[in-house]
Structure 1
Amino acid sequence: MKVLVTGGTSGLGLAMASALAAAGATVALTGRSGRRARAVAAGLPGAVGVEMDVRDESSVAGAVEEAWSRLGGVDMLVNNAGIGMRTVNPRFMTHPQGFWEVPVAGFRAVIETNLTGYFLVAREVTPRMLAAGGGRIVNIAVSESTTHRAGFVPYGPSRAGSESLSRIMAADLRDTGVTVNLLLPGGPTVTGMLPLDTVPEDRRFLEPSVMGPPIVWLASDDAAGVHDERVVAVEFDRWLRGRNG
């Protein structure tokens, strides 16, 4: 399995890239810094690092071409690259801003990364997968509460949009051989997007490694044909038992 993971240098992306590489997949991971992407990839068996700014069409096109060439194709795209509320309001956990207080530039930056970025990468990869006869796309999502919580503009709308985008992608690609699924942790996760020093000590967070088992399964033969599912990592074992009857 040849897998392209966007935003793979830290957090959920790195956890998934590491799990996939450990399971025998050949992984290309991306980051805005090509140097960092290559350095991180060097620590994973058989992985390659590719520079990609998901907000920029030409960067996306060049990076997908490079990944496709170096891997000899891409069987699975993991759309993961994103930025969080800290980029707009560093104190969002303790001093949330009303949407009318959010800087326009900050709003656009988050939407362009978390939503437009998913669109641009999938738009570049999908025709290649269709021409190759099939492929898999996994879009990373967040808990639904994030999409309607006070003080979470623009992150909440960006993630709600990416979830809607994923469902429409799945509808557009039904019966084509290219599958589309959503994967989310199932709770707040230690990724660097949360300022942990502002969070109550009794609040528990998930580790990024929670994403490992479901992403490895989604890349496996057992997941061939699985389409338009919303997989919650913390509930993965129960969900899989239910599927298997």
Structure 2
Amino acid sequence: MTNPPDIDRRSLLGLPLALAAAAGHAATAPADGHQAEWATPASLTLQATLRHWLYLPAGYHERPDKAWPLIVFLHGSGERGAQLDRVKAHGLPKLLAAGQAIPAIVVSPQCDDDLDWDPHLLHALLLALRGTWRIDPRRVSATGLSMGGGGCWDWAMAYPDDLAGIAPVCGYGSHLRLARMRGVPVRAYHGADDSVVPLSAQQTLVTELRGLGGQAELTIYPGVGHDAWNPAYADPALLAWLLARVKAGA
């Protein structure tokens, strides 16, 4: 990486996330056994920690007035756990570890064992990052592979205002909330011979999103199985597409 040496050290500390959870009406329990009365609405602040790699682009410290694009990379199921180096196995973290420069802030969080990407936690991550680093809120995008590709779809459906675009690789997702993200452009990738996440799982999402008026494209790799991330992240057009995303109407 070309960053100052303190960047990786800070990223290992994890990120405390403030998750505001509206408790609605909290019921009180009277001692005399009579029916509880509704109390005033309350809220809770919950804390979570996400280990993550943080990449700051060249010039970040020299340009204190500049807001930068943010790309969030979501790993697959094989990179879960407590060893953060696993996240560097594929995708953008692998490219950055090899010395590639990216003119954006790149954050690569890690899921614990047996957990999946939670869109609510990813939304909270974004809010915390925006409060810490100089991020252009109009230029936030996400990409990920397999479980991470599914995480991109889920995040865009749950919080479409968070993202200017997603690039899921061998991804999948629910069709129930697809209409919510018709304003989020998609550039998807998949192997034609994927036996883990069938091509149809993502192809159907892309087709349905187009039918809803959304912008979506799908690159299919003939003869490629589940590891579509190798050709996808070797394609310079993927990163160029993410960097070009600007939130519509911003």
Normalising by the smaller structure, the TM-score range is 0.3 to 0.5
More helix by share: 1
Q: Whose strand fraction is larger, Structure 1's or Structure 2's?
A: 2
**TM-score normalised by the chain length of structure 1:** 0.43
In our comparison, the structure showing a higher alpha carbon Rg is 2
- Structure with the bigger RCO (C-alpha within 8 Å, sep 6+) is 1
